[in-house]
Amino acid sequence: MLEQLLPQLVNGLTLGVIYALIAVGYTMVYGVIELINFAHGEVYMFGAFLCVTFITAVGMPFYLAIVAAMGCCALIGMFLDLVAYKPLRKAPRLAALITAIGMSIFLQNLAMVIWGSRPLPFVQSAVPAYLNETALSFSGVYLTWLQLFIFAVTTAMMLGLMFIITRTRIGTAMRALAQNKTAAALMGINVNFVIAFTFALGSAMGAVAGILVSVYYNSLYPTMGYVAGVKAFAAAVLGGIGSVPGAMLGGIVLGVAEALGAGYVSSLYRDGVAYAVMIAVIIFRPSGLLGKAVIDKA
């Protein structure tokens, strides 16, 4: 029983940091405009497909293709905001939510039209070979360089994000917007620009997650964003939606709960265990692990 514990924790952690990376996109957008951007999972999927396309069609090297895909996904995120959410800024929240679901379906089918519905392997020839080699192996744990790469990239991106949010002007503007949109606008903050920037940032992070997942699992398919999106959304809620450190913690808790649930409870209840943990947290802390209790503005 116990010999499984360490490997399961590593499994959960790898899964968790990726959830965290996606969850950040949900939580940032929610923090700023109180919208659950259900199309975020599709941006994550587009990140993976664009990266592969840049490698195969344009011939970019791996790392450059990642950056290019991030840039494109940032544009997709901004475009989503522009066409789908901006016109509904003053509409009831439900309208924007349904639009988000619509955009999700649209993007998923668009990807099927462009790249087909068959799952594709990642272009392994473009991936530096050392990434797939075993870096560490001890007591039943096998860690590849890729896993370490995933941990490193995720940590770096999270720190970068925290820096942007807490130390820069635009980050301050984002936080101001999250507190009170009207007051922020009165202080001379360009609200639409800040919202667009938030979408761009979250989408770029989502793209990285999509690429890392498709390299790690060596598979990408148009519907990959759905389950990942749902899990990441649950992670964001678990951590406290609107809170960036909460999304990170939520992702990791959810990933580890899933791995331990499958290992020690029953693999049929793998997701069940993860969601049960989420529900238990929400019952005792309705605002999530690190969320602040907000007084409803209405």
Query: Which of 67, 185, 226, 282 touches other proteins by CB under 8 A?
Result: 226
Which one of 52-60, 168-176, 198-206, 254-262 is the stretch in contact with other proteins (CB under 8 A)?
A: 254-262
With binding defined as CB under 8 A, does residue 227 bind other proteins?
Answer: yes
With binding defined as CB under 8 A, does residue 219 bind other proteins?
Answer: yes
With binding defined as CB under 8 A, does residue 104 bind other proteins?
Answer: no
With binding defined as CB under 8 A, does residue 262 bind other proteins?
Answer: yes
Where b means 16+ CB within 10 Å and e means fewer, 173-211 reads: bbebbbeebeebeeeebebeebbbbbbbbbbbbbbbbbb
> What are the Cα distances from residue 212, in Å, to 82, 161, 215?
27, 18, 5
Burial (CB count <10 Å: 0-12, 13-18, 19+), residue 132: middle
Q: Are 77 and 43 in contact (CB under 8 A)?
A: yes
Which one of 65-73, 84-92, 192-200, 215-223 is the stretch in contact with other proteins (CB under 8 A)?
A: 215-223
With binding defined as CB under 8 A, does residue 130 bind other proteins?
Answer: no
Least Å distance, CB 132 to other proteins, is 9
Least Å distance, CB 55 to other proteins, is 16
Q: Please report, to the nearest 10 degrees, the dihedral formed by the alpha carbons of residues 284, 287, 289, 291 taken in order.
A: -160
Taking the least distance from each CB to other proteins, the nearer of 147 and 203 is 147
- Mark 139-158 with x for binding to other proteins (rule: CB under 8 A) and - for no binding: -x-x-x--------------
- Rounded Cα distance, 275 and 282, in Å: 10
With binding defined as CB under 8 A, does residue 114 bind other proteins?
Answer: no
Question: What tokens were used for 266?
Answer: 């029953």
Q: Are 73 and 204 in contact (CB under 8 A)?
A: yes
Query: Which of 126, 161, 184, 260 touches other proteins by CB under 8 A?
Result: 260
With binding defined as CB under 8 A, does residue 11 bind other proteins?
Answer: yes
With binding defined as CB under 8 A, does residue 259 bind other proteins?
Answer: yes
> What are the Cα distances from residue 213, in Å, to 16, 51, 87, 121, 207?
12, 12, 33, 11, 10
With binding defined as CB under 8 A, does residue 16 bind other proteins?
Answer: no
Question: What tokens were used for 117?
Answer: 């519905």
Signed CA dihedral, 139, 256, 50, 122: sign only: positive
Which one of 4-12, 57-65, 148-156, 192-200 is the stretch in contact with other proteins (CB under 8 A)?
A: 4-12
Least Å distance, CB 144 to other proteins, is 7
Tokens 């649930």 belong to which residue? 261
**What one-letter code names the amino acid at 85?**
Y
Interface size with other proteins, residues (CB under 8 A): 41
With binding defined as CB under 8 A, does residue 117 bind other proteins?
Answer: yes
**Which residues, including other chains, have CB under 8 Å from residue 277's CB and lie 6 or more apart?**
238, 253, 254, 257
Which chain residues interact with other proteins by CB under 8 A? Answer: 3-4, 7-8, 11-12, 14-15, 109, 112, 116-119, 121, 124, 137, 140, 142, 144, 213, 217-219, 221, 223-224, 226-228, 258-263, 266-268, 270-271
